Every structure is written in C-alpha cells, then in structure tokens.
Amino acid sequence: MQETAGTIQADFNPKILGFFCHWCCYAGADAAGVSRFQYPPNIRVIRIMCTGRMDASFILDSFLQGVDGILVGG
C-alpha cells in the first residue's frame, strides 16, 4: 500500500524487473514455473548469463523506462 497525503492507495501494483543469472537464480525461477508455483504477475524476468558481468546501465535504463523496482539475482 502507498500512502499519499493521508490517503491509502491499495491499487498500487509496482512494475518489478528481475535480472536473473542463467546458472543460479534463473534455474530456480524455471523450477518454480514447472512446479506450478504462482508468483506476482507484475514481475518480469530477464535471463542474463552472469550477474557479475551485468552493466549498471541496464538498471538505470530500466528506471528511465518506468520500472518501479529492480531485483538482481545471482
């Protein structure tokens, strides 16, 4: 919930972008999908080969494009 000037907005759905390492975190996300676990529809996952090689401009560009939060999993 987001509070703005004394009112609570319960309909706030943040856009979250996840950068997941191919070898670590993405395998877990894939296993969750195969096991039919549900996760929020407002998260989008981008598979990258290694989070150690991730450029900081990916994060900055994502915020400029309107993403509310970033998750980097490695």
Residue 64 has phi, psi (to 5 degrees) of -65, -25
Amino acid at 36: R
CA distance 29 to 59: 20
Please give the model's pTM, rounded to 2 decimal places. 0.74
pLDDT tens digits, one per residue of 17-65? 999 988 888 777 777 777 877 778 888 989 899 888 899 999 999 999 9
Tokens of 59: 């994060």
| pLDDT score at 7 | 65
CA distance 54 to 49: 9
